[in-house]
Amino acid sequence: MGTNWSSRLLAAATVAPLIRWLVAADSVPSGTGRRATCDACGAPFGLDGPLRTLSPLARCGACRQRIGAPPLTVELALVAVAVVLILADRSALETVAFAWWALCAVPLLFVDLAVHRLPDRLTYAAAGGTVVLLGLAALVGGTGTADDPAPGGGAWLRALLAGAAVASLFVASTLLLGRRGFGLGDAKLVLSSAAVLGWLGWPMVAFGLMVAFAAAALTSVVLLATHRVQWSGHLPFGPFLILGSVVALALT
Ligand SMILES: [Zn+2]
């Protein structure tokens, strides 16, 4: 158990600069290229640039301007993911699949909060990688017990169906309601977040989506009550979808 905790927390610390770089690069308005330099002084940042910029302090290494996700937030999110994966206590391949999904979901969460966008390369990477890795986990299976059988092809099929079905509902809402429906980015994100829920079982699909909608509704009420947003204010839904799947993972 000790090595489990320390190795996963170490892994979370190691990937933090990479996730910070993804967030800073992609937190740009739609139609603009990815950010490669500090907005204030033009100094390059990235894994090949000054790494100081990608530290938990979230400041440009050259001019100290704030850059990317707020200080310590990405790091705390990754530690939370590591703790959830330890609590979930799944087989090695399932854990790899869920970790892959989470490593796409964390930057998506911060980019959506910053600029209300869910970049395709992250939503597609999440969907493709999660489905392939869960497929491998289904193939290898494992032994399991009579009471708690190892997830196999059935779980994988359920994951595929859940992702496709919920994404279709989201696309339908976009077609029917236009801007008042879900965004297409949400539909692409839900391909993977609902697949994670589907792997855990149909009740978890319902539970995870319920958590997402309840948290979004509660947040809207709080923001309205504190006059942080107007009625027309559009709340990004991606972070709540991610929250729903993470809570389901932690509880199963
Ligand atoms: Zn700078």
**DSSP one-letter string for 108-132:** HHHHHHHHS---HHHHHHHHHHHHH
For residue 37, report the distance from its CA to the centre of ligand 1, in Å: 8
Average pLDDT over residues 101-106: 98
Mean pLDDT rounded to a whole number for the chain = 90
Question: Given 89, 113, 132, which residue is the final one in a domain?
Answer: 89
Q: Are residues 119 and 184 in the same domain?
A: yes
The winner for highest mean pLDDT among 36-45, 84-93, 241-250 is: 241-250
Q: Are residues 96 and 153 in the same domain?
A: yes
Q: Are residues 62 and 16 in the same domain?
A: yes
Question: Given 89, 117, 150, which residue is the final one in a domain?
Answer: 89
Q: Are residues 128 and 229 in the same domain?
A: yes
Q: Are residues 11 and 42 in the same domain?
A: yes
- pLDDT-derived band at 82 (thresholds 50, 70, 90) equals very high
For residue 90, report the distance from its CA to the centre of ligand 1, in Å: 42
For residue 239, report the distance from its CA to the centre of ligand 1, in Å: 28
Q: Each residue of 202-242: pLDDT tens digit?
A: 999 999 999 999 999 999 999 888 877 766 567 899 999 99
With a cut of 80, say whether residue 92 has pLDDT above it.
yes
**Which tokens go with 212?**
């997402």
Contact (CB, 8 A) for 71 and 58: yes
The confidence score (pLDDT) of residue 145 equals 53
Q: Are residues 162 and 47 in the same domain?
A: no
Q: Are residues 70 and 106 in the same domain?
A: no
d(CA 54, CA 91): 32
Q: Are residues 75 and 104 in the same domain?
A: no
For residue 59, report the distance from its CA to the centre of ligand 1, in Å: 8
- The total of structural domains in the chain comes to 2
The confidence score (pLDDT) of residue 48 equals 72
Give percent of the chain with pLDDT exceeding 90: 69
Q: Are residues 154 and 46 in the same domain?
A: no
For residue 44, report the distance from its CA to the centre of ligand 1, in Å: 8
Q: Are residues 67 and 186 in the same domain?
A: no
For residue 252, report the distance from its CA to the centre of ligand 1, in Å: 44
The winner for highest mean pLDDT among 28-37, 94-103, 133-142, 148-157 is: 94-103
**Which tokens go with 77?**
């999110």
Q: 140 or 97: which carries more pLDDT confidence?
A: 97
Q: Are residues 82 and 171 in the same domain?
A: no
Q: 101 or 148: which carries more pLDDT confidence?
A: 101
Q: Are residues 138 and 246 in the same domain?
A: yes
Parent domain of 112: 90-252
For residue 32, report the distance from its CA to the centre of ligand 1, in Å: 19
For residue 43, report the distance from its CA to the centre of ligand 1, in Å: 5
Helical H segments across the chain, by residue range: 2-26, 73-88, 92-115, 120-140, 153-177, 184-200, 202-225, 238-251
With a cut of 90, say whether residue 188 has pLDDT above it.
yes
For residue 45, report the distance from its CA to the centre of ligand 1, in Å: 9
Question: Given 60, 89, 118, which residue is the final one in a domain?
Answer: 89
For residue 26, report the distance from its CA to the centre of ligand 1, in Å: 17
With a cut of 60, say whether residue 144 has pLDDT above it.
no
d(CA 24, CA 39): 10
For residue 22, report the distance from its CA to the centre of ligand 1, in Å: 17
For residue 72, report the distance from its CA to the centre of ligand 1, in Å: 19
